[in-house]
A = this chain, B = another copy of it.
Amino acid sequence: MAATAVSQYYLSFHSIPEDGGTWRRRRRRTGSSVCCTPPVPSIPSSSPPPVVGPELSLSFGAHVIPHPKKVEKGGEDAFFISSYNGGVVAVADGVSGWAEQNVNPALFSRELMSKASSLVEDEEVSYNPRTLIQKAHAATSSVGSATVIIAMLEKNGTLKIASVGDCGLRVIRKGQVVFSTSPEEHYFDCPYQLSSEAVGQTYLDATVSSVELVKGDTLVIGSDGLFDNVFDHEIVSAVGTTSDGVTNTGGKLDDITVIVGHAESS
C-alpha cells in the first residue's frame, strides 16, 4: 500500500470565519430559483466512470494529531489500514471521559483496532464491516469505550461501511463530496460508542451503508476531531491542493485522525 504524506489535510484547519456556516446557508438564500439554461456550453460532456471497470484498490496516507494535552501519551485515537482485498481502513476514537475514572481512554480504542486488524481475513467476518465490529468488540477486554468506523472495499468498487458514533467518511469525486456518513449521537458531543460496559452500544447500532467508488475517487476517513474542525468544502479544497494549508488558529481541541485513500486500478 502506498503511503502518501497528507500534511495538507491536517494543516488545513482554519479559524471559524465571520460568516460561519456559509457553506450550508448559501443554499438557503431568499429569491427566485436560479438554474443554468440548458444546453450548457460551458459544461463539458461528462467523462463517465465505467460501470464495469478495472478492479479497484485503495492507497492510503494517514496522520494522527494528538490533543495538545495528550501528546506525550499519543492521544486516544487509533486506526489501522489493511491491503486485504480492495483495502480496509478503520478509525476508533477513545472516549476521553474515562480519564476521570483513572482509566486511560486510549487502551480500549487501541485494542479494538488491534483486534479488528487481526480479524480482517476471518472467515466468519466474511468481509462484512458490521461483523468485524462485532467480533473485534467481543475480543476487546480493555475497560473503556470508543466510537468506530470501518470501511472495506470490494475490488468491484463497492465500499462497505459500518459506523458506531461520530467518526466519519467522505468520498470526493470531481471536486465535490458525493458521499458522506452521518454521525450517531445520544446528545450533543456524546456519540454512540462501543463500550466495555453494558450501557454502551453494539454492532447492532452501527449505521451500515455502501457506495460505489470509481477510479480516481478520494476517500477521507477520520475521527470527529477532523469533521468538527474542518468543513467539507475545506476538505475538498485540501484534497485538491498541494499547499500546506493554513495552521489552525481556532476550532475544537481534540485528537484528530485523518486517513486519505485514493481509488486506483488494481
Which residues on A are within 8 Å of B, measured CB to CB? 16, 19-41, 43, 45-46, 48-51, 67, 95-98, 100-101, 130, 144-145, 173, 176-182, 184-186, 188-193, 195, 197-202, 204-205, 207-212, 224-225, 227-229, 231, 250-255
Contacts of A207 in B (CB 8 A): 173, 178-179, 211-212
Measured CA separation A45–B35 after assembly (Å): 48
Nearest B residue to A160 by beta-carbon distance?
Answer: B210
Measured CA separation A202–B100 after assembly (Å): 55
Q: Report whether A37 and B199 are in contact in the complex, using a CB–CB cutoff of 8 Å.
A: no
Nearest B residue to A201 by beta-carbon distance?
Answer: B46
Residue from B189, B199, B255 within 8 A of A34 (CB atoms):
B189
Kindly name the residue among A39, A96, A179, A250 whose own CB sees the greatest number of chain B CB atoms within 10 A. Answer: A39
Looking at the assembled complex, report how far the CB atom of A15 sits from the nearest CB atom of chain B, in whole angstroms: 9
Q: 10 nearest interchain CB pairs? A: A21-B21, A48-B204, A37-B97, A36-B190, A208-B212, A39-B197, A209-B211, A33-B254, A39-B199, A21-B25
Nearest B residue to A162 by beta-carbon distance?
Answer: B212
Looking at the assembled complex, report how far the CB atom of A225 sits from the nearest CB atom of chain B, in whole angstroms: 8
Looking at the assembled complex, report how far the CB atom of A49 sits from the nearest CB atom of chain B, in whole angstroms: 6
Contacts of A204 in B (CB 8 A): 46, 48-51
Q: Report whether A38 and B209 are in contact in the complex, using a CB–CB cutoff of 8 Å.
A: no
Looking at the assembled complex, report how far the CB atom of A146 sits from the nearest CB atom of chain B, in whole angstroms: 10
Q: A26-B188, A27-B227, A176-B184 are in contact. List 13 more A-B contacts (CB 8 A).
A: A16-B25, A20-B20, A20-B28, A21-B21, A30-B251, A40-B186, A45-B198, A45-B199, A46-B201, A46-B202, A179-B207, A207-B211, A208-B212
